[in-house]
Amino acid sequence: QQSSPEKLQSFCEVRAFAINMSDLIPPKNILFPPEKIFLNWQNMCDIGAGLRNLGNTCYMNSVLQCLTYTAPLANYFLTCEHSKRCVKKGFCMMCLMQKHIAQVKRIAGHFKQGRQEDAHEFLRYAVDALQQACLTGYDSLDRTTTFIHQVFGGYLRSEVRCLNCSGVSDTFDQFLDLQLDIKKANSVIEALKEYVRPENLGESCYKCSKCNEMVTATKTFSIHQPPNVLTLCLNRFDVFSENKISKMVTYPEFIDIHPYTSEKSEGTINYRLYAVLVHAGNTCNSGHYYCYVQAPNSKWYKMNDDCVTPVDINTVLKLEAYLLFYIRYELLYLPCL
């Protein structure tokens, strides 16, 4: 689907700073119009069914339940708009998401049925498969304009500052989720503060283009363009030993990420929690995955394979979370104090 020149110009104006600063070529087409993305549920309904475990498929079940209750994703699938115009030959993740278990090898080729896998890794493969399905027949330059990227995607800013001349070099990278280090953090807020804390690169570790020499510099990450759906991965697993960091890391139901962005003006960027994925066990290749999701009727449920149980928000906020899913919303009023 190609958009009019007026819409394309408008889209490029919104994202011009991120695109120009990262030396990216602007997209040729807008593959999905932003105004057709609805962050609120368009149909109110109760919770759906659980998913049967076919042998260590709990990681898939949990991820797919979290995706199923991602409102903009569900709203889009319920319109059947993609399947009506899909030109992808063979397997299409967008068309066949409901058949995910039978098609798992096509989503993540190295995953083996019957073996426990990492839920975060599967989430990345699943979202990437959705993204590739949206790009079928189009140029990769248009990747930031797909429906999937406009739901899950954002931009990170990496600022390197020379401590000799104070010169700044900025680069911008796309992201679909944020991985937070929790070794020293007891809350998501603490982990986010650590994420954007300036890092000293050490002496003679950076060549400044202005000084034209190796200098001492700092590197600072910030969220430059926040996504509509913010996915946070709490890094509980050691890359080398596979041992798990088993501790409680608190997280809020509502979060303002404005302090962690490169936006300097005052304001808020508000998100609401709608899904939590939990891992029970000592290593990433063992144990059990399950999740908690908020249904369109605003009630919370525990989705443990094919077992679906209602829970309250207090229970949801006291979990040993692995993945947190937040959706952006506009704060229309201030609560009474």
Mind listing the pLDDT tens digit for each residue in 260-307?
Answer: 999 878 889 999 999 999 999 888 778 999 999 999 999 999 999 989
pLDDT band (50, 70, 90) for residue 17:
very low
Burial degree of 109 (CB within 10 A; 0-12, 13-18, 19+): exposed
Residue 41 to residue 73: CA distance in whole angstroms: 10
- Determine the pLDDT at residue 309: 97
Look at residue 4 and tell me whether its pLDDT is greater than 70.
no
pLDDT band (50, 70, 90) for residue 7:
very low
Active-site annotation, residues: 58, 288
Residue with the larger pLDDT of the pair 101 and 68: 68
Look at residue 105 and tell me whether its pLDDT is greater than 60.
no
Look at residue 140 and tell me whether its pLDDT is greater than 80.
no
Residue with the larger pLDDT of the pair 171 and 23: 171
Q: What top-level class would CATH report for the domain 5-328? A: alpha beta
- Determine the pLDDT at residue 29: 64
- Determine the pLDDT at residue 138: 55
Residue with the larger pLDDT of the pair 236 and 17: 236
For the chain, give the secondary structure using H, E and C. Answer: CCCCHHHHHHHHHHHHHHHHHCCCCCCCCCCCCHHHCCCCCCCCCCCCCCCCCCCCCHHHHHHHHHHHCCHHHHHHHHHCHHHHHCCCCCCCCCCCHHHCCCCHHHHCCCCCCCCCCCHHHHHHHHHHHHHHHHHCCCCHHHHHHCHHHHHHCEEEEEEEEECCCCCEEEEEEEECCEEEECCCCCEHHHHHHHHCCCEECCCCCEEECCCCEEECEEEEEEEEECCCEEEEEEECECCCCCEECCCCCECCCEEECHHHECCCCCCCCEEEEEEEEEEECCECCCCEEEEEEECCCCCEEEEECCEEEEECHHHHCCCCEEEEEEEECCCCCCCCC
Report the share of the chain in percent with pLDDT over 70.
72
Residue with the larger pLDDT of the pair 179 and 284: 179
74 phi and psi angles, rounded to 5 deg = -65, -40
Tokens of 84: 């009506």
pLDDT band (50, 70, 90) for residue 34:
confident
pLDDT band (50, 70, 90) for residue 112:
low
Over residues 61-90, the mean pLDDT reads 75
Which of 133-137, 216-220, 280-284 has the least mean pLDDT?
133-137
Look at residue 22 and tell me whether its pLDDT is greater than 50.
no
- Determine the pLDDT at residue 117: 83
> Average model confidence (pLDDT) for the chain?
80
- Determine the pLDDT at residue 318: 97
Residue with the larger pLDDT of the pair 95 and 43: 43
Cβ atoms of residues 11 and 30 within 8 Å: yes
Is 0.95 surpassed by the pTM of this model? no
236 phi and psi angles, rounded to 5 deg = -95, -15
